[in-house]
Chain A
Amino acid sequence: MSMTHRQRIMAAIRKQPADCLPWGLRLDYWYKAHAKAGTLPEKYREWSIWDITRDTGAGIQAHHGRVHQEILRNVEVVTRQEGREKTTEYFTPVGTVSTKMVSTQRLEETDTRPYEKEKMFKRVEDYPVIEFIVENTEIVPTYDDFLSVDRLVGEDGVVVARMEASPMHRIMRNLVGYERFVYELHDNPDKVERLFQVLLEQGRKIARVAADSPAEIVHSDSNLVDAIHTPRIFEKYFVPWFQEISEMLHSRGKVLQCHTDGELRRLLPFFPRTGIDVAEAFSPPPMTSCTASDLRAAWGDRITIWGGIATQLFTDSYTDEEFDDYVLSLFKEIAPGYNFIVGVGDNVPVAAKFDRLRRVTDLVQRYGKLPMMS
């Protein structure tokens, strides 16, 4: 009897044998855009994202969302919507900060989250206010939604629980913004370090909730790029964080996944020390410069790779023949195929030639019996 998608995916993640190369598909960008615009293919008009994924023959990679809730204490939050701009103000006893989110017609049409036009941090005086907000945020477990999605997915795939990004990434991307972060780290390193410590403590609380959750796979961090996160920053702030939470998760039988869709070449040597179990959304050329062979050379079999087919291959820039050649070439590259899950790096584009997803299924069924021959 053949294994289920869930069994295959988990076997690859836990470095155990499987009957066939796992193929796990995350379809949410494509689905949300078409569902919102009313442009789902006729056959799929009333289908759920899970059933559409099942219909492609792929396993489901469900990114459920968080298994924790954040409840603000001692902070008054006021939001104001003006057209497509939403301003949120946070009033605290030590000062006020605000964020501004903005959407566009295109983002709305594709059900893509709004863009943060103004970050919470704007000036040096904002540090204590942000620290107050973080320190007055209660972290509460909330597992019901996860369990509900997990039941819907069943043996046809896996459900991933998302944590917050790593503490320094939250500063860089969410709170301060990449460019200003560079200046702050240079000009005010002590203040950045203090905020980092406050976020680190909160991150530990969130990780403990995730570790106690019903999820087997816990996801932290995404969109790492070596040019921005740099070896120096990654080694100092990211590696110890990943080490700490991976140990915590491993001790509870969980695995740690990271969304590795960016250019990672100069960060590759650090990954084996992180304790990360799954490098998901691996995006090879033409998306980034790193091939599966590059990752294997740097990591050995220590980290399971999930991905391997770049987003662009699903567009009409590539012919069906070129697509097949690309996928078969990937199979040869990753042979014998253990500790690898075929997936899209990093997402199925809205304008995807949808039949190519079934094409992957067909190629996996024809050539993906493990061990594969190179």
Chain B
Amino acid sequence: MTDLERIKQGVIEGDMPRVKELTAKALTEGAAPLALLRRALIPAMNVVGERMRTGEFFVPEVLLAARAMKAAMEIIKPLVLESRAYEPTGRIIIGTVQGDMHDIGKNLVVTMLEGAGFEVADLGVDVSPERFVEAVREKKPDILAMSALLTTTMGQMAAVMKALSDAGCRQRLKVIVGGAPLSPRFARDISADGYAEDAGAAAELAKGLVASRRAATA
């Protein structure tokens, strides 16, 4: 097994100390940071996402894998950013809507998106429509992702959609939503571009939307 394979396996197993050690060793021995990212870390999280999708992995396994990946990323990120060849899978802004303080689901989505190579700007919880619009204007993301856990706050998503339209930000932006009381039907009702029922599905949805957008503009 090569070092890259060992790092990948370590991430899948959620073995943070081993992943940190192997990553540092691989870099010392001349491994390219981008290769570590593309051939070990992202493929590892793809496996984790797939195992979550098939029911083999649960949230604990995903969190432990993500922690191991983040530990490796802390080591290689400064080096990766120096590389001009680096291009993230896509750029995403994410937040829990105004009035809603729940972040477990959102944080899991962030984990899976980062694991899929996305650059994620997490606005946190209780995010107002104005703050979403401001962040979209500033960061020009491919996708805006919104989360809500409460039936009392899911209506805020429609307010964000209106604010995006009013601000002229909607056309070039894909919007995806998720959260326990939501449904594909609700997503359609508010004219979102997609709904994901869990974190793994959110990452797959985001990858699909970015790919189709890039194909359309190619």
Contacts and interface: CB of A to CB of B under 8 A. Distances in A.
B58 A226 contact: yes
Contacts of B150: 112
Interface size class of A (residues with CB under 8 A): 35 or more
B64 A106 contact: no
B14 interface: yes
A227 B58 contact: yes
Contacts of A185: 60
Contacts of A178: 59, 104
B132 to A, nearest CB: 15
B63 interface: yes
A182 to B, nearest CB: 4
Interface stretch (A64-72, A132-140, A243-251, A345-353): A345-353
Contacts of B99: 104-107, 110
A297 to B, nearest CB: 18
A268 interface: no
A107 B150 CA distance: 10
Contacts of B152: 29, 33, 106, 110, 112, 349-350
Nearest to B101: A115
In this complex, which of A106, A230, A311 has the most chain B Cβ atoms within 10 angstroms of its Cβ? Answer: A106
B181 A312 contact: yes
Given A104-B126, A182-B64, A287-B180, A317 B186 contact: yes
Contacts of B58: 226-228, 230
A230 B101 contact: no
A186 interface: yes
A266 interface: yes
Contacts of B6: none
Given A104-B101, A107-B99, A115-B101, A230 B59 contact: yes
B10 to A, nearest CB: 14
A226 B59 CA distance: 9
Interface size class of B (residues with CB under 8 A): 20 to 34
A186 B189 contact: no
B63 to A, nearest CB: 5
B185 interface: yes
Nearest to A351: B155
B118 to A, nearest CB: 20
A269 interface: no
A75 B181 CA distance: 40
A233 B155 CA distance: 34
B207 to A, nearest CB: 21
B60 A182 contact: yes
A105 B156 CA distance: 13
A163 interface: no
B89 interface: no
Interface string B130-163: 0000000000000000000011110110000000
Interface in B163-186: 180-181, 183-186
B186 A312 contact: yes
Contacts of B102: 115
Given A106-B99, A287-B180, A317-B189, A186 B64 contact: yes
28 contacts: A29-B152, A104-B98, A104-B101, A106-B100, A107-B101, A115-B125, A178-B104, A179-B104, A182-B59, A182-B63, A183-B64, A186-B14, A228-B59, A228-B104, A262-B180, A266-B55, A286-B185, A311-B151, A315-B151, A317-B183, A317-B186, A318-B185, A347-B151, A349-B151, A349-B152, A349-B181, A350-B152, A351-B155
